[in-house]
Amino acid sequence: MNIELILFGAFALLTLLSAGMVIFARSPINSAMALVSTFFFLAGIYVLLWAHTVAVLQVLVYAGAIMVLFLFVIMLLNLGESPTRGRPTLARLAGGAATVGLLAVLVVTLLKVPGDVPAMAPEAQASFGTMALLGQTLFTQWLLPFEAVSLLLLVAMVGAVVVAKSRI
Amino acid sequence: MAADVAAREAPNRPMVPITYYLLLAAALFCMGMFGVLVRRNALVVFMSVELMLNAANLTFLAFARMRGDAIGHVSAFFVIAVAAAEAAIGLAIVIAVFRSRGSVLVEDIRTMKH
């Protein structure tokens, strides 16, 4: 047993546990809190994949900004617990069956992916996952998509204000 | 000699196979899909969508680690930005629907059904 495998197992278990709490919690506020912990544990998994910059972004944007938005809306709407657990209709049973089927197909497919990793050159290894490499790739090769994303965020901001206004 | 080679390659090769990360992402995606299909509260449905987006991100990062290039990280960055836009618009729609109908249960919103 090595430390990387232990860390991966712990983070994976905690991620799946808190994701289950997101789905099955009665009250939306409990779901939101479980979602925050899911994001934190996933950031740990990202660090194990040497994606340090994305892990930091995950905590800043997801666990910070997006979760504040969710909590704000939950408090604004003043939602309580769902009164009754809905009865299992045909559509929901079909949804559960489709999920199990998709999981089976994904597991069978992913087990065929070769899991071995080709060795990285030492200089590539030193810069992999750093903010310098991400920024260099983003601002040279992916500059146009980056600008498009900034436009998308602007449109989303204006759209959110317009849609949520009380009188349209 | 074999131990020497293993020690030299140790920092370069992951101890955890990439397949494990992919299986974790598949499980996370399926949990999110289950939440989208089964839950009735629109806010929890949005949280399940965030779970699915995170599973896609995890897959991007696992393959980026496997290939050793930064394209997967750039894709994950874009996914995070799009998820932020989606959450802002989606929650604004939830607020607008709650104002007009007084409910956030997806089964109460069926004006356009049939």
Residue A127 has pLDDT above 60, yes or no: yes
- Confirm whether the ipTM is greater than 0.95: no
Which of B40, B92, B95 is the closest to A82 by Cβ?
B40
Total number of domains in chain A: 2
Which residues constitute the domain of residue A154? 130-168
Residue B90 is assigned to a structural domain of this protein: yes
Which residues constitute the domain of residue B84? 2-108
CB-based contact, B6 to chain A, within 8 Å: no
Residue B114 is assigned to a structural domain of this protein: no
Helices (H) and strands (E) in chain A, counts: 8, 0
Whether residue A76 is found in the same domain as residue A135: no
Structural domain ending residue among the three candidates A81, A112, A146: A81
Whether residue A136 is found in the same domain as residue A74: no
Please state, in angstroms and rounded to a whole number, the distance separating the CA atoms of residues B61 and B21. Answer: 9
pLDDT digits (tens, 9 = 90+) for B52-91: 999 999 999 999 988 888 899 999 999 999 999 999 999 9
CB-based contact, B80 to chain A, within 8 Å: yes
Residue A125 is assigned to a structural domain of this protein: no
pLDDT digits (tens, 9 = 90+) for B90-101: 999 999 989 888
- Contacts with A62 (C-beta within 8 Å, 6 or more apart), sequence order: A39, B50, B54, B80, B83
pLDDT digits (tens, 9 = 90+) for A15-44: 999 999 999 998 899 999 999 999 999 999
The CATH number that applies at residue B67 is: 1.10.287.3510
Q: Provide the pLDDT for residue B68.
A: 85
CB-based contact, A106 to chain B, within 8 Å: yes
Q: Does B61 sit within 8 Å of A51, measured CB to CB?
A: yes
CB-based contact, A66 to chain B, within 8 Å: yes
Structural domain ending residue among the three candidates A56, A81, A106: A81
Q: Provide the pLDDT for residue A43.
A: 95
- Nearest alpha-carbon partner for B36 in A65, A102, A107: A102
Residues of chain A neighbouring B80 (CB-CB closer than 8 A): 54, 57-58, 61-62
